[in-house]
Structure formats: structure tokens, C-alpha cells
Amino acid sequence: MAPGEKIKAKIKKNLPVTGPQAPTIKELMRWYCLNTNTHGCRRIVVSRSRGRLRRLLWVLFTLTAVALIFWQCALLISSFYTVSVSIKVHFQKLDFPAVTICNINPYKYSAVRDLLADLEQETRTALKNLYGFPENKSRKRREAESWTSAWEGTRPKFLKLVPLLAFSQDETSKARDFLTGRKRKVSGSIIHKASDVMHVHESKEVVGFQLCSNDTSKCAVYTFSSGVNAIQEWYKLHYMNIMAQVPLEKKINMSYSAEELLVTCFFDGMSCDARNFTLFHHPMYGNCYTFNNRENETILSTSMGGSEYGLQVILYINEEEYNPFLVSSTGAKVIVHRQDEYPFIEDIGTEIETAMATSIGMHLTESFKLSEPYSQCTEDGSDVPISNIYNAAYSLQICLHSCFQTKMVEKCGCAQYSQPLPPAANYCNYQQHPNWMYCYYQLHQAFVREELGCQSVCREACSFKEWTLTTSLAQWPSEVSEKWLLPVLTWDQGQQIKKKLNKTDLAKLLIFYKDLNQRSIMESPANSIEMLLSNFGGQLGLWMSCSVVCVIEIIEVFFIDSFSIIARRQWHKAKEWWARRHAPPGPQGQDNLGLDIDDDLPTFTSALRLPPAPGTEVPGTPPPRYNTLRLERAFSDQLTDTQMPAES
């Protein structure tokens, strides 16, 4: 390198370095505060000369502004996935929903009485032993079908595996058997099925039954505060055991036909009949019939609101064919639902009274929710790890029932009777699964306590329709009109009913839109990326007058340049350590600082930095000799008047 270049490099090396190449982070921060466009940082450095108090105030102001920016931006990010709800009301011609109607009594008692004869006999015996009821003869029924000759294969039987027991509160280890009247020992935990919230009355004796596992090592005693509830629950268990063994075709024949259930029908001012209804068999309600079930790929609609433009039917209830122990009320159940939706008649059905006209006015509400990440709803249930065992569109109820039925098959080896069958499964009965009832009760308690995981897996559907129902009742037929109305209906239904009708056998149902206003509830994103960036910019500009470029500068200085300074210092330390470690042993000439010779040419600054030679004195400058200071002739020839006289 040329001498001049070496001098320039040396001078450049000794000059103070600022900016991204500053030797320390402190110098880098000072340079940033003096050169940034962000307000507040510059005032921290400039106000240094004006006192510590002012500088401290500006530090507090700047840190507060930065904290507010972070807080506001965190709120903006956390509220990004929020929705805004809008409600729209449309006035238009509406599609009429599907309407499913079921008789509360599932099967004609005359058809199933022979199957349930043993169960009925033990029930009456228990009532006699518990309450002292006399052996009343049952009402006259129609002649039952001869099941002995018509039944193929093993006939369903009633097995006395779960007898009714009376428990005393003073002595819970023993119970009295209603059938034999003797006391027997019972073991296991006692589960009281009464309400934990409301304590109605205290009773010295409660009624229940004992259920045990397959190996009878685990048992549970279920007691009820009322004998009515205990007998109905006990009867229902045995009833499901028996009916689970009956083929579907036979159960359809034992229930009510559409011609028997539907006496008259009108829709939108036009006459209709049983051909407009579709059979739907429910395990607990027998034959149900659905109107407007998209059987012909067309959905009926209504052009006007009001009872005259809805569905009007008269139902034949036939109380004489009711099972006295299975159901304790008379009437029918109706549910309004979508065409592709499963009718959960046992959960949300509306009961219809006999000898009454039930008017149900509807309002349609359609809801649309946003899926992930705004909510946990599902579009069609395909992303829910539960197999849909219903032949219907996904819903939260379908998912919960499907999950429980699947767990039932896994844990107990059979399916519960009131729900559809999963693939390759059979309904539970105590001929093939003697102790399934204990497993069912234990599993149901785990389901209620949310221990099966069904409630955490199943999700709500994102879109659904809901009909808000308003029910009103009126006595029907009136006393003055029944004199002609009942004979006419008896004559109309003479081929099907073959008996004189009375008002307690009939029920009138009217279902209609109160108006044609459809309410739509829709969710939409409350924020967008553009709005989020705009809010970020507003917060930065409000608190620190900062822009996106300033943010990039902050990232560059506080992260990239700071890291470079730290890495550079660590690199120099590592080089020095490496040089000291590999230096040759023994004193060297270079170890003497006085002999440190620089290869560059000396400069005035470097000369001043040289240490004085030991033991020597720097000679001073001697004073000048004044007699040598003479004026030299500036001109060889001078004028005569300026010449000096010669010395003598």
C-alpha cells in the first residue's frame, strides 16, 4: 500500500464512527435517536443538556406511548376474529316445512297385548302388593291376532330378571320384592332418581329396582320418589326388551295406518289425504306420518299467511287402544322440521290434546354462522369424527345421539332401542344380552356428566332453520256442533273405524304461517386485513407519529444492527483470545511498548503519542543571538538621501 493510502486509512480508523457501524450499542442508539423521524426519541437526546428532569419526563412519555401502541395493537389482533350480526327481514312466498305427526300411543293395544301379557300381569301384581289395588279386569279390547300361530322363530318373552323392589330409608341393605312379598338382600350404590333441586316430600319407603353387571359383581339400585315414576320406568325397560325382538314389518302392522290416523286434511285451501303423507316409523312412537316430505322432489309452499292457508287435519286418536302402563296421557305429537332433517319427536315434539283444536302459528328464522376461525361450527358434519347413523342432514342432536349409540355398541355390545341401529349392530334385549340395562344406565350417567367426550366433539351446524311456534287451544267440537259433526265423521270413516266416534277420540290441528316475513340472521367478519392495517397505522401515527418506514427502521436498528455489533464484538474477542493462545513463548521485541514501531509514516498525532525515551532529557531551544539579526540590503543601490554616514 502506498504511504499516502496508509495515512488515509490510519486517519479513517481513528475518526469516530456513527450509524449502523457504531462500535457500541449506546452509540448506535444515540445515532438513531438523532436521525429518526419518530417523535420522542430525539427529545431524549436533545434534552440531555437541559437537565435530567426533562430528559426523564421524555423517557417516560416515549415508553408510555410505546406501551399504548403495543396494547392497542394487541386488542386489535385479539378482536380480529369477531363477527358482526345483521338481521334482515324478507317478505316473500315461503316453503312450507315438513310436519310429522305421531300418536302418543305407539301400537294398538289389541295387537301387542298378547306379547305384553306377562309384563302386564306382573305390573298389576306389583300394584296390588304395593298399593293394595284389586285385580281389576281390563277393559274390553278387540280380539288380538293369534301370535302363537303367526310368529316365526323364537317368540319374545318376558323374563323376570329385574323385579320391582320397595326400599326402606332406615334399612337400605334389604328390600321387599313385590312379586313374592319377601325381603331380599341388595348390594351396590343407591342412585336416587328424584330431583336434587326440589325436595317435594319425605317418604319412609321408596320404590326402585336393582341392576347388575354380567358377573353380578357390580350392582346399582335405582330408586324413585314416586311409585308412578318407578313403575313407568320399570315397565318401559321391559317393554323395550320385548319390542326389540319384534321385526320392523310386524311393528308397522301393529301400529296405526295413515287412513286410521288422518280423518280429514286440507292444505292452502285444497283437499289432501293420506297419500300426501310419508310413513316414518319411530321405535317409541310407532307409525308417524310426515307431510311435505319432498317425496315427489317438490316442496309445497304457501302463498298467504293465516290459518286458512296452512295445514288443517283432524286426527283419530282412539283412546280405547291405549296401553295403560306405557303412556298416561292421550293425544298426538307434532313436530315442524326441514325436509332433510330427522324429526326428534321425543325431544322437541308438541303435544296435541283430544277434544281440542290446537292452532300453531309459525315464524321462520334462518341463521347463518361463520365457520372456523370465527366459531367452531361445521358446515355439513364431515369434519366431525362421529359417524352419522341417521339418514338425515347433520345437526347437533344427531351427533350427540350417534355418539351415544356408538359408545353403547362399544361398551355394552348392543344398541339402545329408541335410536337407529349402527351398521352391524343389534338392539339390546335380555335374551341375548341379559345384563345390558346396568351397562346402559351407567353409560347414560357418564354421558350426562360429559365423561364420554360427546359434548366436546359434537359441534353446532353453521346454517339451520328454526320455526318459532305459538300455540293456542280451543274446545272442539263445541257442544252445539258435535251433534252433527261427529255423525258425519263417523259416516266418512265407516270403512276404517267401524264404530261411533266421540269427541275424546278426535283432535284437530292447524299449522300455518302467521305472516310471510322471513327473518335471516347472518354473521359477517367484523374486521378485514385492510381495516387491521389501517388501525395499526392510526395507532402508530397517533402516539408516535410513526409510519411503516419507521417500523422498518426500528426493526433494522434494534435487531439487525444491534445483532451485528454484538456479533462483531464477540468476533474480535474470539480473535484476540485465539492470538494470545497461539503466541510463541518468551519475551519478544514487540512486547516493549517503547519499541512498538509502526510501519506507517509518522504523523504529528502519532509522534505526540510516542513515549519519551527513558533517562534522557529533551533539549530545550536556545535563545537567539540578537547580534546576528541584521537587516539585509533589499536594494543594491540606495538613494543618496537615505544612506547612512560611515563610522569613523
d(CA 335, CA 574): 82
pLDDT of residue 1: 57
Q: Please calculate the CA angle 244-99-455 and round it to the nearest 5 degrees.
A: 60
d(CA 394, CA 382): 9
pLDDT of residue 189: 55
pLDDT at 596 over 60: no
pLDDT of residue 279: 93
Number of neighbouring beta carbons within 10 Å of residue 147: 16
pLDDT at 259 over 80: yes
Q: What is the architecture of the domain spanning 85-106+255-374+462-524?
A: Sandwich (2.60)
The residues facing 628 across adjacent strands are none
pLDDT at 557 over 60: yes
pLDDT at 337 over 80: yes
Q: How confident is the model at residue 282 (pLDDT cuts 50, 70, 90)?
A: very high
pLDDT of residue 495: 61
Identify whether the C-beta of residue 43 lies closer than 8 Å to the C-beta of residue 49.
Answer: no
Residue type, position 116, single letter: L
Copy the grid coordinates of residue 24. 457500541
Question: Which part of the chain has CATH 2.60.470.10?
Answer: 85-106+255-374+462-524
pLDDT of residue 35: 78
pLDDT of residue 206: 75
Q: How confident is the model at residue 595 (pLDDT cuts 50, 70, 90)?
A: very low
Q: Report helix, strand or coil for 521.
A: strand
Closest among 255, 258, 473, 228 to 350, alpha carbons compared: 473
Residue that has been written with the C-alpha cell 376474529 in this structure: 81
Q: Rounded to whole angstroms, what are the CA distances from 132 to 12, 135, 233, 302, 313?
A: 117, 9, 20, 57, 43
The helix/strand count (H/E) of the chain reads as: 19, 20
Copy the grid coordinates of residue 620. 530545550
Contacts of 6 (CB under 8 A, 6+ apart): 599, 600, 601
Pick the more confident residue, 114 or 200. 114
Pairing state of beta strands 356-368 and 506-525? parallel
Pairing state of beta strands 219-224 and 189-192? parallel
The lowest-confidence range among 49-63, 71-85, 629-643 is 629-643
d(CA 233, CA 361): 34
Residue pLDDT, tens place only, 201-225: 445 567 777 777 766 667 777 777 7
Residue that has been written with the C-alpha cell 303412556 in this structure: 327
pLDDT at 519 over 60: yes
169, HSE (Cβ side, Cα atoms, 13 Å): 8
Contacts of 602 (CB under 8 A, 6+ apart): none
Q: How confident is the model at residue 146 (pLDDT cuts 50, 70, 90)?
A: very low
pLDDT of residue 628: 55
Q: How confident is the model at residue 347 (pLDDT cuts 50, 70, 90)?
A: confident
What is the rounded (10 degree) CA torsion for 532, 538, 541, 544?
-70
Average pLDDT over every residue of 546-551: 80
Identify whether the C-beta of residue 27 lies closer than 8 Å to the C-beta of residue 14.
Answer: no
Pick the more confident residue, 348 or 166. 348
pLDDT at 281 over 90: yes
Question: Which part of the chain has CATH 1.10.287?
Answer: 378-458
pLDDT of residue 556: 81
Identify whether the C-beta of residue 81 lies closer than 8 Å to the C-beta of residue 70.
Answer: no
pLDDT of residue 71: 92
> What percent of the chain lies above the pLDDT cut of 70?
73
Residue pLDDT, tens place only, 370-418: 888 888 899 888 889 999 999 889 999 999 999 999 999 999 889 988 8
218 alpha carbon, distance to own chain's centre: 36
Pick the more confident residue, 525 or 192. 525
Pick the more confident residue, 33 or 453. 453
Q: Report helix, strand or coil for 647.
A: coil
Closest among 456, 442, 381 to 408, alpha carbons compared: 442
Closest among 401, 395, 432, 398 to 416, alpha carbons compared: 401
CATH class for the region spanning 378-458: mainly alpha
pLDDT of residue 195: 40
Mean pLDDT of the chain: 79
pLDDT of residue 200: 37
pLDDT at 147 over 90: no
The lowest-confidence range among 93-107, 266-280, 552-566 is 552-566
Q: How confident is the model at residue 435 (pLDDT cuts 50, 70, 90)?
A: confident
pLDDT at 150 over 50: no
Provide DSSP, 131-171: H----PPPPP-PPPP-HHHH--SSPP---TTS--EEEESS-
